[in-house]
Structure formats: structure tokens, C-alpha cells
A and B are shown apart, each in its own frame.
Chain A
Amino acid sequence: MFSGQSIVTTSEDKDQFHFKADETLKVIGLLQVFLQYCVQAGTKSRMMVKVDRLSYNFGAYWALKDISFTLGKGEFLFLTGHSGAGKTTLLRMLYGALPVNRGRASVAGFQLNNLRKRQIPQLRRKVGVVFQDFKILPKRTVFDNVAMALEVRGMPRMNLERRVRAIVRAMGLETKSYSTCERLSGGEQQRVAIARSMVANPELILADEPTGNLDFDLTMHLMDIFKQFHTYGTSVIMATHSREVLDCVPEARILHLQDGCIVTDGESSINEENEEDD
């Protein structure tokens, strides 16, 4: 994937974001160390997500229609589909940003139907969320942005610093720890966002087109990072409509949505569908 040549992420990042394959390997190696450091004890249930006849409407428009699926612990699931298929709505429901009124859903042991307002922060501490537009604070440093996820949990400062430094190093951002995020390239900003979502070692990562704003090489690099986390038992649901991304995790399950309905659930079907698209 990286053959030693210098990779430029975007034209505007030319001066600030160059990395090489050996650097990627170093990142992945450090990531492994980090993950070994924070591997969690097994959960009581093997089921991470259970969705049963879930529907959601925005007024007269039904974004999700009667969908059902389950996700086991440690499973990697791609959500695919065209814009408006319901991918983002589903993800938003899974992290408690939209209420579950029709159908049933549970995530990491939380019943979303009966979820009280005060339970939402507890749910989100078990779920890491990554967005296409990063959602980081540009005027805060890399360290502050990542530390935020641990600070809200009330983690003692010493542990927090150790953990943040470890994942920042694992993401290859150690030299920029105290740079404000507005000075980083798009790829670096997305790595900050991923670091923030993963630093607390969540049981589930929900990623909504996390590589949508990145070029091919950087996409591959970030997918390696996601795969590493997955390897160590973290469940992942990633919304994407990029074939390159799907190809990165061939063992992943693929759930294809269309007009709010699941049209295919499985690896082979989506590959066929992708071929048709091509």
C-alpha cells in the first residue's frame, strides 16, 4: 500500500502532511501496544447491537422502515447505500441522538426504547463516534481534544495523560500534541477524531463516512487503524459508499440500505451489487 514514496494528502496540505510507509508501520505497531494496554475484559453478552423492526420518520418522510439486524461483539459491519438511504439516521439512533419510538433497539446493553435522558451520556461512554466532518474543536490542542473523552469520565489526571499520550503516539501525532487542531491537515484532524473516539476503549465504534473527506492513501491508512481496533475486539459499524473502503475489510459484513429498508445483508451480496454499480 505504501511503497516508500512520499504521499501528499491534499494540495493545501503539501507542506505539512507527508508520511511514509515505514511511518505507517510504526503507527500500527504503536497502536498494537496501545490496544494491548487497554484491552477490555469480555462483556457479559456477545450481542453488541440488536435492532428489531426499527422505523423512523421525519414528518411524512420515513427514513427507516421496519429494519432488523444484530451485531455480535467484535463484528465489523459496513452500512452502505446511496445518500438518503437511512445510514446516518440509523447511526444517530444507535448513539442516542434520535429517539427510538417504533420498533426496538439495544446497544451495548442499553435498551434504546426506554433510554432516559440521563442514560444517554452512559451509552455514549461505551460507544465511540467518528464523523466525516471530524467534529473536533479547532482552537483546542490535539491533546485537549483527545483528552476530552476521558475527562468527561472523571479519569484521574495521571492516567488520563498516560493514555492520551499513548494513543496520540499510536496515531502518529506525538509531535503535534500541543498544536491547535486548526493547524492540522484534514487527515491529521480525522486521526485526532478517531483517537478521541477510541481513547476510552469503547465497545462499539460508529463511524459515519469517516474517510469521506480524505484521499485514497489517507483512507487506506485510516482503515488500517480501524482494522487494528477491530482486531482487538472492538465492534465497528461504518457507514460508507466507497468501494475502496469496503475492500479494506473483506471479512466484514455488509448491510445495504435503500430507501430506509435493508435490501441485502451479507458480504457476497454487496460485492455483487458493487459490481453492478461498476
Chain B
Amino acid sequence: MIGQLFRLTLRGIADFGLHPVAQLLTLVAVGMVTLLTGLIIIGLHNINVELLKSRGEVEFQVYWKADTKTEDVLKDWAVVRKLDYLKDFKTFTPENALTELATTLGETGDFSWLADNNPLPYSGLASFAVPPEAQDEGWAARLLTELKSLPGVDKVHYTPFQADLAQGWMTITRVIVWPIIGFLALIVSLVVYNTIKLSLLTRLDEVEILSLVGASPAYVRWPLLTGGFIQGVFGSALGIGLLALVHSVTAQTLNFPPFFIEIQFLPYDQLGIIAGAVTLVSMASSWVAVK
């Protein structure tokens, strides 16, 4: 049984020599389809990476209660400075804040008359840059709670634009992008299936003869399955190789002001998924094509 399986596998490999042109064209078609899929996924991957990068950048404006003692405020500031992923923390005493306000408003901003009765509290502008891997669910809300829970803090404001943008992307991804990828996968399957089916037309005589001499369907299909596997493996390798070539040429095309985007190549796990999916589709196509 194992010996027969081994022989059939070898036959599947050897059969590549019977119709080399048809096999080569199929291989190129599978490679091209893999390249097309890879280009689409690489585009989505890079949009995702850019959004995840900016998604983690969030600023909080923190206001302390007016009656908080200076030493308590300083303690709170020390706590803030120890928070994870803090990128920058600008602090303002009431005096600093008044000066900053006056500077910002220019000539109309003469608040010297308020110097002895300054209504502004201690405040701070905390900027965080949370990396994508630390952006688990509710991370922004947790930061907000953490800042609000400081003993002297009165209120905290933040602009949720970036987080909302990223959230919106995730929603779009879920609702639109994945169906589009699914649709593309379907196209890939059909292209590979048809290409392999066409290449199998050259072998219909063999299938017929094997069937006539009493070969079981599994016996007939095994060499074809081997062929589909080889087409899938080598075709996806060819496609990924071309994808790497295209990437190496275009990686720096957006790396200039104001974008500064270096196009990233796909991670190994995603490459593995593409190669595996193409190989599986090729094998399934070979199996179904002789039905």
C-alpha cells in the first residue's frame, strides 16, 4: 500500500515531463495569481500597519483641582511620568498656563491683571504612543481611567479621533475588506481550478485508460493530486519570489515627506497562509477536475 502510494507519487512527479509546456504555463498562471493576491494583501497590510501606528498616538489634557497643593500635584506628575508608553508630558503651573495663554492670544492676551488672582489650575498635556502589540481592547479607556484616578485630578479631556479612526478601519475591515478578500480568494480558486483543469485535458486519455483497466478513483487521482501539490508549492513560491522582487523595487517609493512610509513586506505567517491556501486550492482543483 505504502509502496504503491510512493510509486504513484513518483509517477505524479514524473508526469511533469510528459507535457512540460502545459505544466510550465500552469505554473506561471498559479505564480501570477499568487503575486496578484500578495500585492493586494501587502497593500492592506501596510494600510493596517500605518493606522495601527497612529492609532496608538493619543493626547490627554489633565486638569488638577484648583485647591490641590503644589506638592500633591508634583506627586501626581511623577506618577504620570512613570506611565507606560508615555511619549511626552508637558506640565503647566497656573502661572505658566496664564503666560502660555497670553502668548497664544498675542496682543489681545494681556492677563497681567489676573496675576494675583489666577483662576487657572495646574494642568498637563500627556502624549502617549502605544505600540500596535499593546493595543488590546479598551486600552485608551484604561489610560483615561488611570489618569482620572490620580488623587488631585479634576478632569481629563482627550480627543478620541485617532482611536476612532482605527476603530473605524477595523469596522471597515470586518464589514467590507474581508468579504473583498474572500471574493478575491474565490477568483484565485477559479483561476487555479480552470488552469489546472485545462492542463488536465491533456491527460484525459490517461484517466480514461486507467479507469478502463480497473483503477480506483483514488488511484487515478493520486498522481494528479501530487501534480496539483507541486503546482501549488512551486507556483506559490514563484509568486512570492516575484512579490519579494516587486517589494524590493518599490519599498522606498513612499518614503518621502510628508508620508515617510516604508512599504513593509508581508510577515512570514501571512506568506505561509498564502502559499498554503494556493497549494490547497491547487490540490483541491486537481481532485475535483477529474470528477
A-side interface residues toward B, CB under 8 Å? Answer: 95, 117-118, 120-125, 129, 135-137, 139, 148-149, 151-154, 157, 196-197, 200
Contact = CB atoms under 8 A, between A and B. Distances in A.
A200 B211 CA distance: 15
14 contacts: A122-B214, A124-B211, A125-B213, A135-B205, A136-B209, A139-B18, A149-B213, A151-B4, A152-B210, A152-B215, A153-B214, A154-B1, A197-B213, A200-B213
Interface residues of B, number: 18
A148 B205 contact: no
Interface string B1-39: 101100100000000001000000000000000000000
A137 B214 contact: no
B159 interface: no
Contacts of B219: 152
Contacts of A139: 18
Nearest to A145: B209
B226 to A, nearest CB: 15
Given A152-B219, A154-B1, A154-B4, A135 B214 contact: no
B108 interface: no
A196 B213 CA distance: 8
A197 B213 CA distance: 7
B117 interface: no
B216 interface: yes
Given A123-B214, A136-B209, A154-B1, 5 more contacts: A118-B216, A121-B217, A124-B211, A139-B18, A152-B215
Contacts of B209: 135-137, 148
Across the A-B interface, the 4 shortest Cβ-Cβ residue pairs: A125-B214, A124-B214, A152-B215, A149-B213
Interface string B169-195: 000000000000000000000000000
B288 to A, nearest CB: 16
A157 B2 CA distance: 13
B216 A121 contact: yes
Contacts of A136: 209
A212 to B, nearest CB: 18
B208 interface: yes
Contacts of A196: 213
A276 to B, nearest CB: 36
B262 interface: no
A139 B211 CA distance: 18
B72 interface: no
Nearest to A149: B213
Contacts of A154: 1, 4
A198 to B, nearest CB: 11
Contact of A149 (B1, B3, B214, B216): B214
B213 A148 contact: yes
Contacts of A121: 211, 214-217
A123 B214 CA distance: 7
B206 interface: yes
Nearest to A95: B212
A152 B213 contact: yes
A121 B219 CA distance: 10
Interface centre among B1, B4, B209, B212 (most CB of A within 10 A): B212
Contacts of B1: 154
Nearest to A150: B213
Contacts of A137: 205-206, 209
A152 B214 contact: yes
Contact of A129 (B205, B206, B212, B215): B212
Contacts of B206: 137
Contacts of B4: 151, 154
Interface in B202-250: 205-206, 208-217, 219
Contacts of A200: 213-214
A137 B212 CA distance: 13
A137 B209 CA distance: 8
B18 A124 contact: no
Contact of B212 (A118, A135, A151): A135
Nearest to B206: A137
A193 to B, nearest CB: 9
A200 B214 CA distance: 11
A123 B216 CA distance: 11
Nearest to A122: B214
A137 B4 CA distance: 20
